[in-house]
A and B are shown apart, each in its own frame.
Chain A
Amino acid sequence: MSPLAFYPLAFVCIASAMGVVLSRNPVRSALSLVASLFCLAVFYVFLQAHLVAALQIIVYAGAVMVLFLFVITLLNLESDRGLGEKPVLSAIGFGAGAIVAGGLIAALSRTSLGARAVTLVPTFGTTKVLARQLFGDYLVAFELTSMLLLVAVVGAVVLAKRDGSYEGDEQEAAVPARSEEASH
């Protein structure tokens, strides 16, 4: 991967990641995260992992981000009502961030970052090779994923469909949600 491509891309990736944290508006934060995840997908392409790049965009930039945006509109977070107004919360957030950053720095200082020459077979990263690994060597992990997804479905349904009704929500719902109801 040539430095000419790497550095601009890394800059965009980190800048949009900073945008997630620094933006006061939750929707802008979420959209910066999309940009950051898209850059990560481009990195996967550079590393010959084409299938993983496509899945990264479909699952993260597509599905997960749509969920985030829905949650933001569900809570109707306003831009200036963030953590900043509560010093205790912002102190906790800062502390947690510092711990994670310290851990990362400690881990990185013990790893040698020198380039290692890796020879790739020409078929590396293609769908077939990945599939043979997934459905051969990692079969158990794959089957266990289905259990994980099952738990996710059950959890989501139980949490969101409590009592099988949305009565509490409808009272607080703002005008758009009402007009949605009125249309049918």
Chain B
Amino acid sequence: MRAYLDAIAAGYPTVSPALVYLIGMLAFGALVVFVFILPVAGITSWVERRVWARIQSRIGPNRVGPGGFLQWLADGLKNLLKEDVIPAAVDVPLFRIAPYVVVAGFVAAFVALPFAGSLIIADLNIGILYISAITSLVVIGILMAGWSSNNKWSMLGGIRSATQIICYEIPVGLSIFPVVLLSGTLSMQGIISAQGWAPTSWHMFHSPFLFVSFLLFFVGALAEGNRTPFDLPEADSELVAGFATEYSGMRSLLFFLAEWGNLYVIGVLVSTLFMGGWQVPHFTDNGVVLAVAQFATMFVKAYFWVFVAMWVRATLPRVRVDQFMTLCWKYMVPIGLVNVVGTATMMVVLPQGSIVLRWIMVAMTAAILVQFARRVFFHLRRANYGRLGRISEGAA
């Protein structure tokens, strides 16, 4: 973003460049927040319900707009018209501040998220570290919401959420190190530039260590985003709505807005760290076309992981508290440490990596995906036969 604004400032020599920068940043920030983050978070809530419905043989919301597409706006409007109840026993100032902290922490994470080669609000030199720092505001906000509600469910939800987020911070951190080791920078754009558009140049396929890191990161990110199978903090069937139990109207929706938006953040982080981010082949010299292609690439990659998170949520049951503690401390932390040491050793032995190893990794992943697709099609065929009553004919 910096380069664009400097160019604009050069065109108006009478205006102070600092002012141009400030106004430009305000405009771009508002654009990202209101035109990108809020709609994406809202639409994700609709996509999620449609995806679950399909997986559970239901239809899902399909009434508002084409295919129910405008459901998210209707939901927002409905929540806006609901009564905003503040129960008598809550700690009122903290109860009101909590959504501010959660939403501000979530929105500020987008500052360092790359959208395309030149589209990033600010390419901070501590990029990935900044994101994990600013999202720790969300923990504080959730604890605040849970405690201030003066309700047992909220309190349990808040404490569980904080425990879970801090526990999984360690394996997530450890799974980022192999990537940082390879790219030698913390900046998001720097990490993407260290990879190429072809899968063989993605960090994910650098070595088996990186592939395991990628799995650890995705699982850890789901846990940090309070997503199923790690949705203990807001486990509907046991804790009502966890830390958001006492919230009503728009305030409660804002917590969920942050959760859905966080899914996209997770998607962008996975594709940036492990899948080459916005990298596309240099097929044209037209900067705008290239930027659009990069944006589309990034969005598709990120949204693919959002979809996988929905799929996981519709498939897996919730883990128990002791299970997630065991998974974190006894499996993910040691595996993460082994990954860091393994990658460091490999970089001493093979400083440039091995192209043969990369090809083997890609081929193995492709084989797994093909086998998976074959199974899916097999089951689809069988299910269709069943529905049309052709099984008996086939047998005869």
| Touch test A–B (CB under 8 Å) | yes
CB-CB under 8 A for A63 and B166, given A69-B143, A69-B147: yes
A-B contact count (CB 8 A): 73
- CB closest chain-A residue, reference B166: A66
Beyond A50-B124, A69-B143, A69-B147, whether A179 also contacts B94 by CB under 8 A is no
CA distance A24 to B100 in the complex (A): 23
Asked whether any CB of chain B lies closer than 8 Å to the CB of A168, the reply is no
1/0 per residue, CB under 8 A from A, across B143-185: the answer is 1100100001001100100100010010000000000000001
Residues of B within 8 A of A90 (CB): none
Q: Is the CB of A176 within 8 A of B156?
A: yes
Q: How long is the Cα–Cα vector from A176 to B156 in the complex, in angstroms?
A: 7
Interface of chain A residues 81 through 138 with chain B (CB within 8 A) = 126-127
Residues of B within 8 A of A57 (CB): 133-134, 136-137
B94 in contact with A28 (CB, 8 Å): yes
B147 near A176: Cβ-Cβ < 8 Å? no
A184 within 8 A of B: yes
A61 at interface (Cβ–Cβ under 8 A)? yes
**B129 at the A interface (CB under 8 A):** yes
Contact pick for A50, options B126, B147, B156, B320, CB 8 Å = B126
A6 on the B face (CB < 8 A): no
| B300 adjacent to chain A (CB < 8 Å) | no
Q: How far is the CA of A28 from the CA of B159 in the complex (A)?
A: 16
Which residues, 316 to 371 on B, are CB-close (under 8 Å) to A? Answer: 320-322
Given the known interface contacts A31-B144, A183-B238, A184-B320, the answer about A126 and B130 at a Cβ–Cβ threshold of 8 Å is: no
Say whether A145 faces chain B, with CB atoms less than 8 Å apart.
no
Main secondary structure of the interface of B (DSSP, over half): helix
Minimum C-beta distance from A102 to chain B (A): 34
Asked if A4 lies at the interface with its beta carbon under 8 angstroms from chain B, I say no
Residue contact B125 to A126, C-beta cutoff 8 Å: yes
Q: Given A50-B124, A69-B147, A176-B152: A31 and B140 within 8 A (CB)? A: yes
Count how many chain B residues have C-beta atoms less than 8 Å from C-beta atoms of the other chain: 30
Chain A facing B: main interface SS:
helix
Q: Which of A61, A65, A127 contacts B186 (CB under 8 A)?
A: A127
Q: Is B139 an interface residue (CB 8 A)?
A: yes
Tell whether A61 pairs with B136 under 8 Å between CB atoms, given A69-B147, A127-B125, A180-B321: yes
Interface residues of B in 111-125 (CB under 8 A from A): 124-125
Q: How far is the CB of A21 from chain B (nearest CB, A)?
A: 18
Asked if A14 is at the interface of the complex by the 8 Å CB criterion, the answer is no
* Complex alpha-carbon distance, A92 and B269, angstroms: 51
A58-B132, A61-B136 as given contacts; A127 in contact with B126, CB under 8 Å: yes
In Å, the complex CA distance between A58 and B144 comes to 17
**Do the beta carbons of B322 and A184 come within 8 Å of each other?**
yes
Residues of chain B contacted by A147 (CB below 8 angstroms): none
Q: Quick check: is A13 within 8 A (CB to CB) of the other chain?
A: no
| Contacting residues of chain A (1-49) with chain B, CB-CB under 8 angstroms | 25, 27-28, 31, 34
Q: With a CB–CB cut-off of 8 A, which chain A residues contact B155?
A: 73, 176
Q: Say whether B140 contacts A179, CB under 8 Å.
A: no
| Contact status of A54 and B130, CB under 8 A, knowing A62-B136, A175-B152 | yes
Q: Is the CB of A180 within 8 A of B136?
A: no
Given known A61-B140, A62-B166, A70-B159, contact A51–B322 (CB-CB < 8 A): no
CB neighbors of B among A143-165 (8 A): none
A61 to B101, CA, bound (A): 13
A residues less than 8 Å from B140 (CB atoms): 31, 34, 61-62, 65-66
Contacts of B143 in A (CB 8 A): 66, 69
> B124 to chain A: which residues have CB within 8 Å?
50
Q: Which residues of B contact A51 (CB under 8 A)?
A: 126, 129
Complex-state Cα separation, A115 to B132, whole angstroms: 35
Q: Roughly how many angstroms separate A99 CA and B320 CA in the complex, as a whole number?
A: 50
Question: What residue in chain B is nearest A57 (Cβ atoms)?
Answer: B133
Which positions in B face A, CB cutoff 8 Å?
Answer: 91, 94, 124-126, 129-130, 132-134, 136-137, 139-140, 143-144, 147, 152, 155-156, 159, 162, 166, 169, 185-186, 238, 320-322
Residues of chain A touching chain B, judged by Cβ–Cβ distance below 8 Å, are 25, 27-28, 31, 34, 50-51, 53-55, 57-58, 61-63, 65-66, 69-70, 73, 126-127, 175-176, 179-180, 183-184
Which 6 A-B residue pairings sit nearest by Cβ, starting from the closest?
Answer: A62-B136, A57-B133, A54-B133, A54-B129, A184-B320, A58-B133
